[in-house]
Amino acid sequence: MKNKQLALVIDLNVCVGCHACVTSCKEWNTQGSAGPLTDLHAYGENPTGTFFNRVQTYETGSFPNTQTIHFPKSCLHCEEPPCVPVCPTGASYKRAEDGIVLVDYDKCIGCKYCSWACPYGARELDEERQVMTKCTLCVDRIYSETLPEAERKPACVMACPTSARIFGDVHDPESEASKTIANRGGYALMPEWETIPANHYLPRSITETIAAVKEEN
């Protein structure tokens, strides 16, 4: 069996777009080992800042048969990360032991090349620190020896009120993450670029559920 590959599985059926994962991610990571994630013009007209995780909203179908889809997006910790080999300094790397893609902020020269080489726009340059930042899968939480064991999960997973985020080893067929991907048709984003994202998304099955309920009644 291959090495461990930690990842998130995100359930698009239950994400309600509350942005709790966005704020908890920022809250943890701006004071964690990765931080600070600086904000510019926080009280100005166009506040902007560094985030590891964003929640976007999409609409499908045509009226009146439309659906709203909330779509959290963070680094997908690709198994073939195109951002890593292009880094000239070796600041971007993928950990052999758990597959997390990280940036060494002390080596990053801020050339932004890795962000060009990521088709997902998962990397954000911190404007104040001038280094590239990205989701760390809360590497400083999940291996923490001081946090209670139940809290050794990424901050976004802890915060999600609808349990839309499942964290686990996608190379271990017995993990909840792997089982969910297998049973519920978990898929990867932009498979056409063969980056093999570790993070997976669960397809919407709400319409099928409604149809099934209607049939029962």
Residue 87 CB, shortest distance to other proteins, in Å, is 6
Spatial contact of 195 and 78, defined as CB atoms under 8 Å apart = yes
Spatial contact of 8 and 185, defined as CB atoms under 8 Å apart = no
User: Does 118 sit near other proteins (CB under 8 A)?
Assistant: yes
Kindly report the CA angle at 29 between 27 and 34, in degrees rounded to 5? 160
Residue of 97, 174, 192, 216 that binds other proteins (CB under 8 A): 192
User: Does 100 sit near other proteins (CB under 8 A)?
Assistant: no
Residue 85 CB, shortest distance to other proteins, in Å, is 4
> What's phi and psi for 129, nearest 5 deg?
-85, -15
User: Does 193 sit near other proteins (CB under 8 A)?
Assistant: yes
User: Does 173 sit near other proteins (CB under 8 A)?
Assistant: no
Spatial contact of 75 and 124, defined as CB atoms under 8 Å apart = no
The pattern of x and - marking residues 47 through 86 that bind other proteins according to CB under 8 A reads xxxxx--xxxxxxxxx-----xx-x-x--------x-xxx
Residue of 36, 111, 140, 205 that binds other proteins (CB under 8 A): 111
Size of interface with other proteins, in residues (CB under 8 A):
63
Spatial contact of 96 and 86, defined as CB atoms under 8 Å apart = no
User: Does 18 sit near other proteins (CB under 8 A)?
Assistant: no
Nearest one of 144, 137, 117, 143 to 9, comparing CA atoms: 137
Q: How far is residue 118's CA from residue 124's CA, in Å, rounded to a whole number?
A: 11
User: Does 46 sit near other proteins (CB under 8 A)?
Assistant: yes
Spatial contact of 137 and 165, defined as CB atoms under 8 Å apart = no
Q: Which spans of this chain sit near other proteins (rule: CB under 8 A)?
A: 19, 22, 41, 45-51, 54-62, 68-69, 71, 73, 82, 84-91, 107-113, 115-121, 123-125, 127, 129-131, 187-193, 201, 203-204
